[in-house]
Amino acid sequence: GESVGLHLPTLSVQEGDNSIINCAYSNSASDYFIWYKQESGKGPQFIIDIRSNMDKRQGQRVTVLLNKTVKHLSLQIAATQPGDSAVYFCAEKGTGRRALTFGSGTRLQVQP
């Protein structure tokens, strides 16, 4: 069946280092992808999105890379800060589908 999954459930990095969070998806018809950040006790917060006609998109300190050939999505966070500690979800939406399918999440722990 269709699914969105993550390779690493927990990622620990040193403050100031770059972080890379990976996500694999199985639906080749997916055309829209989002990364969300969820801090404890809060709702998922939009970070960055990308459509399938792009392979890279940059935001403030974050970059999303999309490799449609291998159905892989990654989130890169530059100069990771303690405030980046959270669970990160990737989500995808396929053409004709109405709602997002979420992955299981990766916990990012930033060590001071």
CB of 55 to other proteins, least distance (A): 19
Among 102, 52, 48, 54, which residue's Cα sits nearest to residue 77? Answer: 48
Query: Which of 25, 77, 84, 89 is close enough to bind other proteins by CB under 8 A?
Result: 89
Query: How far is residue 58's CA from residue 42's CA, in Å, rounded to a whole number?
Result: 25
Query: Which of 21, 23, 44, 88 is close enough to bind other proteins by CB under 8 A?
Result: 44
Q: Interface with other proteins includes 93 (CB under 8 A)?
A: yes
Q: Interface with other proteins includes 70 (CB under 8 A)?
A: no
Would you put residue 31 in left (φ > 0), alpha (ψ -120 to 50) or beta? alpha
Applying CB under 8 A, the residues found at the interface with other proteins are 32, 34, 36, 42-46, 49, 89, 93, 95, 98-100, 102-105
